[in-house]
Amino acid sequence: MKKAFKIFGLVIMAVIVVSVFAGCGSAPKAQLKVYNWGDYIGEGVIEEFEKRYNIDVIYETFATNEEMYVKIKGGGADYDVAIPSDYMIERMIKEDMLEKIDFSNVPNYKYIDERFKNLPYDPNNEYSVPYMWGTVGILYNKKMVDEPVDSWKILWNEKYKKQILMLDSSRDSIGVALKMLGYSLNTRNMDELEQAKEALIRQKPLVLSYVGDEVKDMMISGQAALAVVWSGDAVYTKRENPDLDFVIPKEGSNMWVDAMVILKGTKNKKAAEQFINFMCEPEIAFRNTDYIGYSTPHTEAKKMLDPEVLNDRAAYPTEEDLKNCEVFEALSDVIKEYDRVWTEVKAAR
Amino acid sequence: MRRTYYAYPYLVWMAIFIVVPLFLLLFYTFTVTTEEGIRFTLQHINRIWEPIYLTVLLRSILLALICTVICLLIGYPVALILSGKEYSQNKILALLFVIPMWINFLVRTYAWMNLLGKNGVIDMVMNFLHLPSLQLLYTDYAVVLGMVYNFLPFMVLPIYSVLTKMDKSIIEAAQDLGADYITVLKRIIVPLSMPGVISGITMVFMPAVTTFIISRLLGGGQYILIGNLIEQQFIVVGDWHFGSAISFVLTIIILITMGIMRKYDKDYEGGAIW
């Protein structure tokens, strides 16, 4: 009996030792750290990349550009690829946080629509590859809102007290207030910014909650009547609940581009470029845009989309819709004031 | 032979993860980086006294106090019942109190969102009974409820453990001398359980005053508390100096609270019992 135990023990030992060495046998896998928005990639895309290139992807997510910036700037993170928005890319280029991309390693860049190249945030197209684009607008429940929705002012209407969801994101929410007041959402005028702050504080009692990704579930389940959302979330939620509709208010809004960038200090630039190229493959780009609902700047992927989606003005707005829309600028010189305003809005009762 | 060197790894651990961060906190609180370099400043501390931030601080303390009082009012009788004759034999009820703590508190707080939310469980019951639906989620009530729910065990368990260890012969002696239950409770049990009450109060008040996740999930980012303000400074705004300054002020407040509680505790042990 005792002997049987001993043999059993020896076998276990042998198995452990062998398995440890077996692990060492194959070459250590390369690693790629990707930092993306939450809920912002097609299903199975990462796994397919890992399999094809034999690279381990460590995938982490953020909820706002500011959160991503602070984490990378703080030095506590060593991501290789990130997917921030336009104004944040501009700021990161200025602060020397990005690596130039070698576009000969990203041949699929040719599929990106010319309209999304050489935009002001990356004028010579050296640092970024557009991933998705969209707008900010009002998502509303037709059963709960009986008047036409065409202006930001409806978010200040007492009638919808505790039925309004705002974005928990400084630039987006301040931008909404600025546009409502008829100002530019890139204002450098402190007086206009103060007025936007007052407006947001005035609006606070009407707001049910300041939200991030949970806005989708809350609007689908009818927990609020009106919400400020990014256009792709509108496409997704409309699919789930036909009572919902999306509008870009007449005062204009923000038009944005999220693009893939490589961060300074990456240890695996080649893998990072492989990843970006992979994401621009027509099939993969289609799977991403189809799953998350955001509008793709990828010409081939767009061709594969359902005509119904292409005709959806939430996803692919007309020139008329975009007439008053602006792209965020980095505003490096006054961004501290925006941060202060946002802190005070959140702290106010 | 006393092997004090066993404690050295712990001392090193404390130095690295408690003392050093505290000095970092002090450093960030009292410095500002300008073009000429880093210099001493009080501007961050002064900023906290602006009415807008002061209100947040006072609101956090008020909510934490309410939470502590409710926890004490519910927790003491519960601990008393748990330690009573009927239940002290089988530990099942005490176990039932501990089991929810095996589940991560974040998950349990999310569960409350589903219960309290519009079209949530409570709302559905109200609708079924043709009662008006209540706006429960994203209010102060929801935040206090979440805090009481999460921190109640921290009040019950210390009191329970003091009560079970209490020398029963003192109670019997009092009863032999003709004291009724109320008198025994007032003169014997409550005074003897004071150390448990004190540690319960500190263990509830401290996490309650610094919480940021409960107020975010159940308060909807509207009812911002001091913990949220600190989190926002570090995570969103990136103003480590102001964030540290708020943490510093909060630390001082907690230290003062603990000092007062300590003193009160000692008075009791020294005088009232004998």
Distance of alpha carbon B60 from alpha carbon B78, whole angstroms:
26
pLDDT for residue A17: 55
Per-chain mean pLDDT for chain A: 90
Q: How do beta strands A128-141 and A244-247 pair?
A: antiparallel
Contacts of A97 in chain B (CB under 8 A): none
Can you say how many angstroms the Cα of residue A291 is from the centroid of all Cα atoms in its chain? Answer: 14
Distance of alpha carbon A220 from alpha carbon A241, whole angstroms:
6
pLDDT for residue A2: 56
- In terms of Cβ atoms closer than 10 Å to its own Cβ (0-12, 13-18, 19+), residue A181 is middle
Class of the A30-133+257-310 domain? alpha beta
In chain B, the residue whose alpha carbon lies closest to the alpha carbon of A215 is: B220
Per-chain mean pLDDT for chain B: 86
**ipTM summary value:** 0.79
Q: Do A204 and B117 touch (CB under 8 A)?
A: no
Class of the A134-254+323-347 domain? alpha beta
How far the first Cα of chain A sits from its last, in Å, is 74
Distance of alpha carbon A61 from alpha carbon A32, whole angstroms:
14
Interface probe with B: pick from A213, A220, A343, most Cβ of B within 10 Å: A343
Q: Do B138 and A64 touch (CB under 8 A)?
A: no
What is the least distance, in Å, from the CA of B127 to any CA of chain A?
15
> What tokens appear for A216 in the block?
């989708």
- What mean pLDDT is predicted for residues A53-71? 93
Let me know if the fold of A30-133+257-310 is the same as that of A134-254+323-347. Answer: yes
Q: Please count the other Cβ atoms lying within 10 Å of the Cβ belonging to residue A324.
A: 14
Distance of alpha carbon A81 from alpha carbon A128, whole angstroms:
10
> Do A176 and A198 meet the contact criterion of CB atoms below 8 Å apart?
no
Contacts of B135 in chain A (CB under 8 A): 162
Q: Do A209 and B239 touch (CB under 8 A)?
A: no
- What mean pLDDT is predicted for residues A51-60? 94
* Per-residue pLDDT reduced to its tens digit, B127-184: 888 888 777 888 889 999 999 999 999 999 999 999 988 888 988 899 899 888 889 8
Q: Domain coordinates of chain A in residue numbers? A: 30-133+257-310, 134-254+323-347
* Per-residue pLDDT reduced to its tens digit, A317-330: 988 888 889 999 98
What is the least distance, in Å, from the CA of B224 to any CA of chain A?
6
Q: Do B52 and A348 touch (CB under 8 A)?
A: yes
What is the least distance, in Å, from the CA of B234 to any CA of chain A?
8
What is B60-272's CATH number? Answer: 1.10.3720.10
Asked if pLDDT for residue A23 goes beyond 60, the answer is no
Distance of alpha carbon A332 from alpha carbon A93, whole angstroms:
11
Q: For chain B, which residues lie within 8 Å of any Cβ of chain A, measuring from their own Cβ? A: 52-53, 55-56, 59, 117-119, 135, 138, 220-224, 228-229, 232-239
Can you say how many angstroms the Cα of residue B249 is from the centroid of all Cα atoms in its chain? Answer: 17
Instruction: Name residues of chain B where pLDDT drops below 50.
Output: 269-274
Interface probe with A: pick from B123, B237, B240, B242, most Cβ of A within 10 Å: B237
In chain B, the residue whose alpha carbon lies closest to the alpha carbon of A340 is: B237
> Do A249 and A137 meet the contact criterion of CB atoms below 8 Å apart?
yes
What is the least distance, in Å, from the CA of B231 to any CA of chain A?
11
Q: Do B220 and A211 touch (CB under 8 A)?
A: yes
pLDDT for residue A86: 93
> What tokens appear for A109 in the block?
């860049």
Can you say how many angstroms the Cα of residue A210 is from the centroid of all Cα atoms in its chain? Answer: 17
Spell out the residues 6+ positions from residue A144 whose beta carbon is closer than 8 angstroms to its own: A163, A222, A225
Query: Residue B38 is inside which H or E element, if any?
Result: strand B37-40
Nearest to A346 among B117, B232, B239 (CB): B232
pLDDT for residue A27: 58
**A210 contacts chain B (CB < 8 A):** yes
- In terms of Cβ atoms closer than 10 Å to its own Cβ (0-12, 13-18, 19+), residue A258 is buried
**A202 contacts chain B (CB < 8 A):** no
Least confident of A73-77, A80-84, A206-210, A267-271: A73-77
Asked if pLDDT for residue A25 goes beyond 50, the answer is no
A17-55 burial: b if 16+ Cβ within 10 Å, else e: eeeeeeeeeeeeeeebbbbbbebbbbeebbeebeeebeb
pLDDT for residue B271: 37
Q: Do A209 and B221 touch (CB under 8 A)?
A: yes
Q: Do A70 and B235 touch (CB under 8 A)?
A: yes
